[in-house]
Every structure is written in C-alpha cells, then in structure tokens.
Amino acid sequence: MVNVLDIKVARDLWSMRLQVLSIALLVAAGVAVFVMSVSNYQALIGAMEAHYRNERFADIFVGMTRAPLSIVDRLREIDGIGIVEPRVAEPVRVIREDTNLPISGRVISLPAAGQPLLNRLHLVQGRWPDPLHPEEVIINAAYAEARAVRSGETMEVVLNGRLQGFRVVGTALSPEFIFATRAAVPLPDDRNFVVVWASEDAVASAFDMKGAFNDALMTLAPGAGPQHVLEEVDRLLAPYGGTGAYGRSDQPSHRFLKDELAEQETLSIVMPSVFLGIAAFLLNVVIGRMVEAQRGQIASLKALGFANRTIAFHYFKLVTAIALLGSAIGLVVGRWFAIGVVGSYGAFFRFPSLEAQLEPWLLVAATLVSVGAANLAAASAVYRIAVLAPAEAMRPETPPALHTFSWLQAIGSQRIPLQYVIAARTILGRPVRTLLTTVGIALAIPLILFGLYWFDAIDYMIDVSFGRIERGDAFVTFTEPVSADALYELRAIPGVLEAEVQRVVPITLRAGHRAYRTSATGLDSASELKVLRDSALRPIAVPSDGIMLSRTIARQLDLNVGDSVTIEVLEGSRAVREVTVRRISDDILGASVTMERTALNRLMREGSVANVAALRIDPGQSDRLWSRIRSMPKIEASSIKALWFALFNETIGGMVVIGALVLLGFGMLIAIGVVYNSARIALQERAWELASLRIVGLTRREVSAVIVSELAVELIVAIPAGLLIGQYLIELIASARASESFQIPAVIDRSSYAIAALLVIGAAIASFITIRRRIDRLDLVAVLKTRD
Amino acid sequence: MQPLAPVFVARGLTKVYGAGDSRVVALKDVDLDIRQGEFIVLLGPSGSGKSTLLNILGGLDAPTSGTATWRDHELTGASDEQLTTYRREHVGFVFQFYNLIPSLTVEENVRLVAQIASNPMTPAEALELVGLSHRAGHFPSQLSGGEQQRVAVARAIVKRPDILLCDEPTGALDVDTGRLVLAAIAKVNAELNTTTAVITHNSAIAGMAHRVLRLSGGRIVKEEPNPRRIRAEDVTW
C-alpha cells in the first residue's frame, strides 16, 4: 500500500506546481549553465589534446638560416631528444585577382613520403599531393574556407621573389596552425594568411635549400626535461644561424590557444561555478521558506505522533523531487545548449573534431549540489519547527522580537496607514528571514551582470585597443628592415593621410635561468598612431633608453624597474645585449616589450630602419592605395582595422556573445524565480492575515500594499547591494584570470547596471501582478474556517 | 425596546458548493427578515448552513440563487468592490479564531478598521466598551483567548457598524471568558442599537436573543421569539 505521506508529497507537488516549477527552473538554470560551460571547456581541452596526440604535435621548435641535413643526425644524438623532423619553412605572399590586399603566408615543405613525422596534417578535404607533381599543394582549411578555395584551383604564390603557380589538391588542419597568426596582427586572420604545404623539392629549389633545412621540429624522449635539450639544440645550431629553440609554451598558435582557453576557463568554469553556487544558495533560501510555510502541517504531523525523522524524510522526498526535476531539466537544456555553443566554436578553434563532452562526474556534481542545497535548507527548516512543542508549532509564528523590542511598538504612528506598519514590523521583526530574502534577490543581480559584463568588456577592449592605443587604420609589414625614409614613400601614396614606422624584432628576454620569447616593438617617441597608455588610459611616454615591460612578463622573469635584462635578438645580427628595465606597464593589450625605436636600432647595431608601418588612410581611396602598396616589392603583409573588426565579430565576438547571452538568459530566469518565489511565499505565509484584512473591509489595493511594500523595501536594499556584489565578483574574477595575451578588464558600463536593476524591477512587477491576482482571489470564507 | 422594520430581507437563498458527486447543498430556499436593532441567535449543528447564511449576510459569499438585501443594498450579484464597501461601511465581524493581525498591537488592530470607516468611534472608546483599555499597547500573542476575542469585538464595533455578525464567538473560549465576550456583544447591541446576529451551536446563548433561528440541513426549521432575555452574566454551559 502506498504510504499516505508519499501521497501527500505527490499532492503537495501538484498543488504547488507553479512554485515547484519556478524553483525547479532556478535549479535548472544553475545546472544548465554549469553543465554547458564545463562540458564545452572540456570539449575544447579534449579536442586540443586529441589533435596534438593524433597529429603528433612537436615539443621543441627551432628555426635557423640554413643547416645541412647532416646536422639532423647530430640533433638526434642529443640526450633527451626523440624524433627530429627537418623541413623548410619560409614566408610567402599570395596574389589574388579578387583583392588588392597583400595576402601573406608560410610555405612548409612536405617530405617525399607525404605525411611528416611530426605536426602531421589532418586532411579535411581532397587528397595528398602526387610526388610526381611538385606543383600540387595542400593549404590550411581555414584560409580555404575563408576565401572559398576549392580543390583543383590554382594559386599564385610569390616564393623568394618569384611568382609561381601551385594547384590546390587538398585542405588540412595542423596542430601548429590552430591559430594561424603572424607578427603585428593580434588575431588570426584567416582571409589574409595562408599556409601552403608543398613538396620538399618545390620548396627547397625555390629557396635554394637542396640538401639543407631551416626549420626543425622535435619531440622529447619520454621523461626528458626541455631545458637541457633547448640548450644543446641552440649550441649545435648556433653556427647555422639558429634563432633559438623554444618549447610549446612559446609556439605562437599554442600560446594563443592557451590564452584563449584561459579566457574560456573564466567564462566556462569560474563564472558558472559562482553561478551554480549562487543558484544553490537561492534554492536554499526559497526551499527554507517554502518548508517554513508548512509549519502548521509539520506541527500537526508531530501532534499525530510522527517522529521528527519521518517528517524530515517526508520533506526530503518533497524537496529532492523538486531538485531532481530541476537538475534533469538543467542537464537536458545544458546538454542541448552545449551542442549548439560548441558548434559556434568551430569557426574559431580549428580542431579536427570538436564535440560537447558530458562526463558522468559533471552530472553527479551538478545534481549533488542542487539536491544537497535543497535538503540542507529543508532539514534546517524542519528542525526549527520540530524542536517546538506541537501545540506551540500549531500557533502561527509570532516573532519573539515583537515582545522584546519595544521599538517595534514605536514604529506605529497615527499618521502612517497601518498596512505599512504591518509591513515594517514584519521586515524588522524577522530580521534573519528579511536578510536572507534580500541577499537572495541581491545575488540574482550578479548573475545578470555576468552576462552583460562580457558585452561591456568586448566594447571596452575594442575602444581601448583600437580607439586609444592602436590609432591607425592599417599596418603594413616589410619583408626586411627598410630605411625610415620609406615613410616619405608611404606618405606620398595618394590616400595615405599619415604614416609612422615601427621596428618589430623577435627576441628572447633572459633574466637568470628564466626566459621569455616575444617580440620587441621600437616606437618613435612622437608616435601618434600608437599611443602607450597606463591602466587609467593616460598616455605614457616611451623611455628614451632601456626597455618598458608589461607586468606579466616582468613577473615571469622576476624583474623590477632598474634591473638589467638580457635581450637576444632572433634575427639579423643575433645581437645579445644587456638593457635596463625603465618602466613596468599595465598589460592593457596583453604582454609587450617596448623601446624607443632609435634605441632599438642602436641595440641592433643598424641604422634608422623599420619593418612595420602604421597608416591612417582615406577610406575613399583605399582601392587605389592598396593596389599601389601591393605592387611595392618589400611589402610582406598588411592588416586593415575594419577587416579586423569584422573578423573579430565573426569569431571571438560571436563566440563570447553566444556564451554571454546564455549566461544572461539564465541569470534573468534565476532573478525572476527568486523574486517570484519571495513574493509567492510571503503571500502563502500571510494568506490568513491578508484575508482577515479583506474581511474587515480593507480593499484589495490596501491589502496588496502590505506585501508589495515589504517586497519593495527588500528590493530597494537588494538592488544596490546586488550591483556592488556583482561589481566585486567581476573584479575578482577578472583579476584572477588575466592572461598573457589579453587582460579582460573589469569594466561594467553604467547601462549594464541600469539594465540589471531594471530587469529585477521588471521581474518584481511581474511577480506583483501575479501576487495581486492571488490576493484578488483570496478565499475569504475558507480562511475563517481554519486557524492558520 | 421592540425591534422595528426589517433591515435584512432574504428570499429563497440557496447555496450549492461543488458539482456532480461532490455537490453539497449548504442552504436550501431560506427566507429571512431581520429587524433594526434585533439580536438574533442562529442555532444548529455543524453543516446546518448557519455559517453560510452569515457569510452571505456579511458579503463574504454569494448565494447560488435567491436574493439578499440590506436596506437598499442588493447583496446578491454585487461586485467584489461593492461587497468590500458594504463590509467596510456597515458590517462588523467577530470570528471564532479572532483573526487579529499579529504584528499590530491591540489599539492598532482596532485603529486599522477605524482608519477606513466614515464615522468611527475612537479606538480607545471601543476598547473601553470591551473593558480592554489597559491592554491597548500589547500584541495579540500577549493576550489570552478571551482578551483576543474582545479585541475582535472592539475592532468590529469601532466603526459603529449597522450590523454585527459573530460566528461562534465563544467557540474557542471557556465559560468565564466566553461570558465577558458575550457581555461585550450584548452591550453593543443594547447601547448602539446594532443589529446583531450570533452563530453558535451552544443553545445556552440563545437565552440572550430577541429571536432564535434553528437551522438544520440548510433550512430554517424553527423560529422562536424570546420574550424573556437573560443577561450574558447568567448564561451557563
């Protein structure tokens, strides 16, 4: 026979179905965000690891001017080295009919066997080149998609100054070009950067590398540490112009990926965990009050002889059913969103396979958190009631404060309508419950702010990066350093309004045993197209000698202002110099090393030269301007801000916007759930009192004023508190999650505060309306028949 | 003092709750006249329909059929706003469970009604009438049941109601405290000439009435005038 209490569970669930649903949705929102985000993050990590493993991503990378293939055997002899893969890798340019923009890229040699040993290719489409046809190449899938290049198409590539035609026979993904980037461009630009894998013969003959190589990939032997290997490789390759071996952490694509993942971790792990924690707390508040509203029933069960344990178990079933319903909805919805959102990552994270993961522990953790929080609340509420004698518990709760605090009596005044006195005494007479409800509403606000914050952060970063720091419209990169006089040539091009040059040099910074591979930018002190700024966005001057480091680099190398640091230049003269750290700057745009350009020129022992130019251009003349620039022999690459924006919106922007919208949506759902439940439970607890007021002749409006004014006071306190808590949490998360390439600033626009507050007020008004309907329908007769 | 013209007129009042198998007929075709200043006691067992009748007279419930009027107020078919106004301006209620507001003091519970009435006495006067002036600043939870019920009486009469409706006013009280409450009700009836209807299943209280109506199965089965009224102090049960 079915236990009667179990029938009560089922009937209670049914009779409170709207409230049950709103609590379940609160749980569901927390669980869904958590499950979606964590499983997406795991999907990215899983896809990266699988790609690295399957395509045998190298551990050590090194470039050099030219080394004979005989050196390869000596590399293999180095203790701790596993596989060595020599190859030829060179910068190239691609000419297309449909664009005036110079497209840059890299050509990489493929061994005669086709698939290399390391950094293997994952063929997306087409086939491997036929060894008998050196004109057949594979290109990176990202470029092929961005430019709609199909197999069989020919491609005009400038190799070592000579135009050569290749035929594309396949497209591929490579673990070293998950993000295909080049110097001076902060974001992968798939439309204007291409990787061409061509036969060894074709590449070697174009670059005069027969029997030689200029790039090598290596793996570490199992158990070997990188430090010794890096030193040995550098020693061995020094005579051949080795530019310094480096590990995965300095490999550009991997470094960018790692920073992106760190950012995703904030969006996917930190925020959703805080989110789930807040949802659990709110669940606790709501369930606690829901159980307390059943005070009379609990007392009756006790009076009938039910043991506290039995009663607690009864409520355990009730709230567990609600929490499980919520978790189940959350898991299904979270999984569903995960699949959708992971789909949006594909345009940005180029992995062979990227699928939303759903690990069992995730299900268990999310369910445990919600069931646990619900039961903790129910247990403490049941306990509070169960310790009372049944007779006392059956009386309506009269707050002890009403007896003890005479100031509560003093609240009454002849001039204040008594419905407000009732509200004020309820708020002040039950301070703990008022506090919990207020904190509950307040904590819903950060959940909304979390979503809005990402939009603000992106706007701010774009404004700061491109409005305040990088103020030019475009960059051009030269194939080799040119005289600073090239400026005059650039300025003479019709459509160029302003031009400034920079010297960008790949370097390794060394301090003691620590090293950091990056590039140093030499800026003219009067530079206006690039303006350095501190975190308060005040312009700062380039030090006239010595270097300026950003904080993350300074911290990694343990450097302070006045310390000396070794710069190893990784091109040309390979100069090794000591310089003084003159200033440590905020990493608004990510890690950077800056010097005065002529100081950098002196350090390089070169004349006044530059290899990058920033331009301000007249958009009306851009076509003619670019066709002119493309025809200049020494231009390697260009980057246009407007295109970069479009790219940003398509990739990072799109990805973050989807994540932020999901966060915002669920945050709103929770805010509505909390406000609605607070109002609904307040009504449930007070139905008897409110009906009594109606009977003695107060109008619906006057009676509603009691509940509405109570909630209004809680909202007035909760909203500013919630905005402050939100700001604090975001600052905490942002400062904890600053990565090397990007620092996500804790900026929240005023409009976001206003939107968050308005959304909560909107939720409150909607709740008031439903509550008002219930007050209108209060069954006055039924109230008379029961004590409470 | 002999009662005069009828102020309450009910004709063919019928109230049916539920439908189908769960259909319960609470009142069947009840006709009733109540005169100005009359003290009526409605007697009957549980389920006899007395509370339903009182709720309809007080504007808390609507009959399924029939008509009920109070002076020129048509109670049947009135809107919720009209019934609220009717209760607010003319009716005082006293219930078995007092229905006081726990967060308001005794004086404030009374003032709550005074503040919405058009011609109220002062809360102090109302409390004086029920003998509770000394408890004005206390909260309901600090009072005994009898005291709480007298506060309810004070709250009911502070507006100088035209009609005082009491549903089992002594149902939760012992004899001595019950008498105090009854005395307060009788005093209001006598001094303010307030038409008064008291529901009880305690036939001893019937001795206080001008007229006793006995209900059974949703009908008035007997109507007895009471020429020899007793004082509340003499009621025993």
Are A421 and B60 in contact (CB < 8 Å)? Answer: no
CA distance A374 to A661: 27
Instruction: Give a yes or no: residue A125 inside a domain.
Output: yes
Angle between helices A700-736 and A750-776 in degrees, nearest 10: 150
- What's the token pair of residue A372? 């646990």
Q: How many domains does chain A have?
A: 2
Task: Pick the last residue of a domain from A570, A585, A617.
Answer: A617
Beta bridge partners of A220: A81
Residue B53: half-sphere exposure toward Cβ, Cα within 13 Å: 37
Question: How close A714 gets to chain B, by Cα (Å)?
Answer: 18
Are A784 and B88 in contact (CB < 8 Å)? Answer: no
- What's the token pair of residue A297? 């029933």
State the ipTM, two decimals.
0.80
> Could you tell me if A649 and A447 are in contact, meaning their C-beta atoms sit under 8 angstroms apart?
no
Phi, then psi, of A733 in degrees rounded to 5: -65, -45
Show residues of chain A in contact with B117, CB under 8 Å. 697
Question: pLDDT for A430-464, tens place per residue?
Answer: 788 788 888 888 888 888 888 888 888 888 878 88
Phi, then psi, of A534 in degrees rounded to 5: -90, -175
Beta bridge partners of A616: A498
- What's the token pair of residue A725? 């808590």
Tell me which of A552-556, B10-14, B124-128 is least confident.
Answer: A552-556
Q: Which of A396, A422, A780 sits opposite B104 (nearest CB)?
A: A422
CA distance A59 to A219: 5
Instruction: Decide if B65 touches A, using CB distance below 8 A.
Output: no
What is the H or E stretch that residue A6 is in?
helix A4-15
Cβ burial of B135 (10 Å; 0-12, 13-18, 19+) is buried
Chain B residue closest in CA terms to A392: B141
Cα A647 versus chain centre, distance: 17
Instruction: Give a yes or no: residue A783 inside a domain.
Output: no
Question: How close A422 gets to chain B, by Cα (Å)?
Answer: 6
Are B93 and A696 in contact (CB < 8 Å)? Answer: yes
Q: What's the count of helices (H) and strands (E) in chain A, helices before strands?
A: 25, 20
Cα A367 versus chain centre, distance: 25
Tokens 């996917």: give the residue.
A268
Chain A residue closest in CA terms to B161: A696
Question: pLDDT for A602-661, tens place per residue?
Answer: 988 888 999 889 989 888 888 888 888 877 777 776 777 777 777 777 766 777 777 788
Residue A70 has what pLDDT?
93
- What's the token pair of residue A785? 């028949």
Instruction: Give a yes or no: residue A179 inside a domain.
Output: yes
Show residues of chain B in contact with A694, CB under 8 Å. 84
Q: Which of B60, B108, B141 sits opposite A780 (nearest CB)?
A: B60
> Could you tell me if A585 and A734 are in contact, meaning their C-beta atoms sit under 8 angstroms apart?
no
Task: Pick the last residue of a domain from A594, A617, A640.
Answer: A617
What is the H or E stretch that residue A720 is in?
helix A700-736
Residue-wise DSSP of A653-675? IHHHHHHHHHHHHHHHHHHHHHH
Question: How close B37 gets to chain A, by Cα (Å)?
Answer: 21
Mutate to test the interface with B, among A421, A686, A784 (most CBs of B within 10 A): A784
N- to C-terminal Cα separation, chain B? 27
> Could you tell me if A486 and A610 are in contact, meaning their C-beta atoms sit under 8 angstroms apart?
yes
Are B84 and A697 in contact (CB < 8 Å)? Answer: yes
Chain A residue closest in CA terms to B157: A696
Q: In what order do the strands lie in the sheet with B163-167?
A: B91-94, B163-167, B195-200, B39-43, B211-216, B219-225
Question: How close B10 gets to chain A, by Cα (Å)?
Answer: 20
Residue A739 has what pLDDT?
54
Question: pLDDT for A708-719, tens place per residue?
Answer: 888 899 999 999
> Could you tell me if B78 and B59 are in contact, meaning their C-beta atoms sit under 8 angstroms apart?
yes
Instruction: Give a yes or no: residue A329 inside a domain.
Output: no
Q: In what order do the strands lie in the sheet with B6-17?
A: B24-35, B6-17, B65-70, B73-74
Are B113 and A692 in contact (CB < 8 Å)? Answer: no
Cβ burial of A332 (10 Å; 0-12, 13-18, 19+) is middle
Are A781 and B55 in contact (CB < 8 Å)? Answer: yes
Q: Which of B99, B113, B139 sits opposite A697 (nearest CB)?
A: B113
Show residues of chain B in contact with A403, CB under 8 Å. 139, 141-142
Task: Give the CATH number, domain containing residue A558.
Answer: 2.40.40
Instruction: Decide if B119 touches A, using CB distance below 8 A.
Output: no
Cα A534 versus chain centre, distance: 23
3-state helix, strand, coil in chain A (%, to 5): 55, 20, 25
Question: How close B103 gets to chain A, by Cα (Å)?
Answer: 6
Mutate to test the interface with A, among B103, B135, B163 (most CBs of A within 10 A): B103
Residue A2 has what pLDDT?
65
Strand stretches in A542-575, DSSP E: 547-550, 564-569
Q: Which residues of A touch B (CB under 8 A)?
A: 395-396, 398, 402-403, 409, 412, 417-418, 421-422, 425-426, 429, 688-689, 692-700, 702, 776, 780-781, 783-787
Question: How close A12 gets to chain B, by Cα (Å)?
Answer: 21
Pairing relation of β-strands A162-173 and A136-140?
parallel
CA distance A663 to A335: 15
Are B105 and A787 in contact (CB < 8 Å)? Answer: no
What is the H or E stretch that residue A172 is in?
strand A162-173
Are A418 and B141 in contact (CB < 8 Å)? Answer: no
Pairing relation of β-strands B195-200 and B163-167?
parallel
CA distance A351 to A124: 10
Flag residues of chain A having pLDDT under 50. Answer: 399-401, 787-788
What is the H or E stretch that residue B30 is in?
strand B24-35
> Could you tell me if A103 and A129 are in contact, meaning their C-beta atoms sit under 8 angstroms apart?
no
Mutate to test the interface with A, among B85, B101, B138 (most CBs of A within 10 A): B101
Q: Which of B61, B80, B141 sits opposite A402 (nearest CB)?
A: B141
> Could you tell me if B127 and B154 are in contact, meaning their C-beta atoms sit under 8 angstroms apart?
yes
Question: How close A441 gets to chain B, by Cα (Å)?
Answer: 24
> Could you tell me if A253 and A179 are in contact, meaning their C-beta atoms sit under 8 angstroms apart?
yes
Instruction: Give a yes or no: residue A208 inside a domain.
Output: yes
Is the dihedral angle over the CA atoms A104, A110, A114, A118 positive or is it negative?
Answer: negative
Domains in chain B: ranges and CATH: 38-64+78-234 (3.40.50.300)
> Could you tell me if A65 and A240 are in contact, meaning their C-beta atoms sit under 8 angstroms apart?
yes
Tokens 């290049």: give the residue.
A149
Of A203, A191, A86, A182, the C-alpha closest to A137 is: A203
Show residues of chain B in contact with A425, CB under 8 Å. 103-104
Phi, then psi, of A637 in degrees rounded to 5: -150, 165
Instruction: Give a yes or no: residue A30 inside a domain.
Output: no
> Could you tell me if A498 and A615 are in contact, meaning their C-beta atoms sit under 8 angstroms apart?
yes
Q: What's the count of helices (H) and strands (E) in chain B, helices before strands?
A: 6, 10
- Provide the 3-class DSSP secondary structure of residue A582: strand
Task: Pick the last residue of a domain from A254, A286, A307.
Answer: A254
Show residues of chain A in contact with B89, CB under 8 Å. 697
Chain B residue closest in CA terms to A693: B101
Instruction: Give a yes or no: residue A281 inside a domain.
Output: no
Structural domain of A244: 58-254
Of B188, B202, B201, the C-alpha closest to B156 is: B188
Residue B225 has what pLDDT?
92
Whether pLDDT at B132 is above 60: yes
Tokens 């030193």: give the residue.
A231
- What's the token pair of residue A56? 């045998």
Question: How close A778 gets to chain B, by Cα (Å)?
Answer: 11
N- to C-terminal Cα separation, chain A? 31
Question: How close B8 gets to chain A, by Cα (Å)?
Answer: 19
Residue A375 has what pLDDT?
84
Q: Which of B55, B88, B167 sits opposite A697 (nearest CB)?
A: B88
Residue A396 has what pLDDT?
57
Count CB neighbours of A459 within 10 A. Answer: 12
Count CB neighbours of B170 within 10 A. Answer: 27
The answer for residues whose C-beta is within 8 angstroms of residue A660's C-beta and 6 or more apart is: A451, A452, A453, A454, A455
Chain A residue closest in CA terms to B111: A418
Show residues of chain B in contact with A785, CB under 8 Å. 51
Question: How close B46 gets to chain A, by Cα (Å)?
Answer: 12
Are B93 and A396 in contact (CB < 8 Å)? Answer: no
Instruction: Give a yes or no: residue A340 inside a domain.
Output: no
Confidence of residue B1 (pLDDT cuts 50, 70, 90): very low
